[in-house]
Structure 1
């Protein structure tokens, strides 16, 4: 496995959509990723194994705060440190673009993601009741107030 990280561009939307469909019950569309990649207020990074897109992470950066929108890996790459590397890269990229704090929502049932965020010092700040439309699961709101 030869994993690298680079910024997403609009032409990556199809490959990112494939990762999204393999990861989420209600996936974003290819057009959504194309729009996100073209938006000056977003930062999306890709994880690649050679030339193949195996994962991505994205955030919005506004007024010094970064809001993580998504992070996903193809199933065969989970649990191998790729997510940790990718999430660390988006934190650094957000800092370089002026973010001083970062927030996100996570499912209480997603123990792997919760462990990843705890590794980077994210703390629980609240709950969004019934946040996830596929099953009505709540979302835990996490913040890292100092990047």
Structure 2
């Protein structure tokens, strides 16, 4: 039986787990993440945060309670609380385990990815790519034209994933990371509104769904 994964807007109840993910995914970052900045970000009208969650130990029971299949409801419906074709109930908050977070700032027509991270135990399963897909969908939903982010020059794995989704290196921020003075690459997409990007993005989504059927 496949595991149920959910992507939804981040809520204040998720902050403590989001901090855990920050500490795990970015162990050398400074200053360390704290509760208050996250709470402020959730109130910021220019910021949007999403979480990737899974049920805790009651996954089998919750799977039986679901009234539709994952294929019957798009990520858009789950992410933006749109009414699905059938009733659909997320796991109770007490049983949810947050395994990934992502955040963007919307500045005019640019969506800037401020964070995207996953718990270490869930890496290498296609979940990081799933989180990136949801983040791109969120930017499209917010009518952004391009998406920009910073990535460590040493993080070749992340850079490879971003390039796959048409992020291109456009600059460098010298000594951007305060923990070790490492430079950051600035990567930006082509227009995510263009027919070419939309078609290519759909192909990548379909490819990911085929490769990682257990996530959907």
TM range (shorter): over 0.9
Residues 166 and 190, structure 2, Cα contact 8 Å, conserved in 1: no
Aligned to 2:81: none
Native 8 Å contact 1:10 1:35 kept in 2: no
The one of 121, 140, 143 equivalent to 1:98 is 143
Q: Is the 8 A contact 2:174 2:183 kept in 1?
A: yes
How far apart are 1:68 and its partner, in Å? 0.5
State the partner residue of 2:18: 16
Moved more, 48-57 or 30-39: 30-39
Contact 1:11 1:34 in 2 (8 A): no
Q: For 1:135, what is the secondary structure of its paired residue?
A: coil
State the partner residue of 1:68: 113
Indicate the residue corresponding to 2:46 in structure 1: 41
Q: Which residue of 1 aligns with 2:35?
A: 30
TM-score w.r.t. length of structure 2 = 0.66
Query: Residue 37 of structure 1: CA displacement?
Result: 1.6
- The number of equivalent residue pairs is 147
Partner of 1:56: 101
Distance 1:112 1:47 in 2: 20
Query: Is there any run of 5+ residues in structure 1 with no aligned partner, and where?
Result: none
Map Cα deviations across residues 86-120 of structure 1 (whole Å, 9 max, x no partner).
Answer: 11111111111111111010001112211221121
Matched residue SS, 1:31: helix
The structure in which a higher percent of residues are strand is 1
Shift of 1:39: 1.3
Q: Is the 8 A contact 1:16 1:30 kept in 2?
A: no
- 1:47 and 1:67 mapped to 2: Cα distance? 19
Unaligned runs of 5+ in 2: 56-95, 193-216
- The CA distance in 1 between the partners of 2:120 and 2:186, in whole Å, is 25
Q: Give 1:48 deviation, angstroms.
A: 0.6
Q: What's the C-alpha RMSD, in Å, of the aligned pairs?
A: 1.1
Cα pair 1:131 1:138 within 8 Å, conserved: yes
**Residue 30 of structure 1: how far off its partner (Å):** 2.0
Kept after mapping to 2: 8 A contact 1:44/1:59 = yes
Deviation at 1:52, TM superposition (A): 0.3
Give secondary structure in 2 for the equivalent of 1:133: coil
Give yes or no for contact 1:13–1:31 (8 Å, CA) kept in 2: no
Structure 1 residue 21: Cα displacement: 0.9
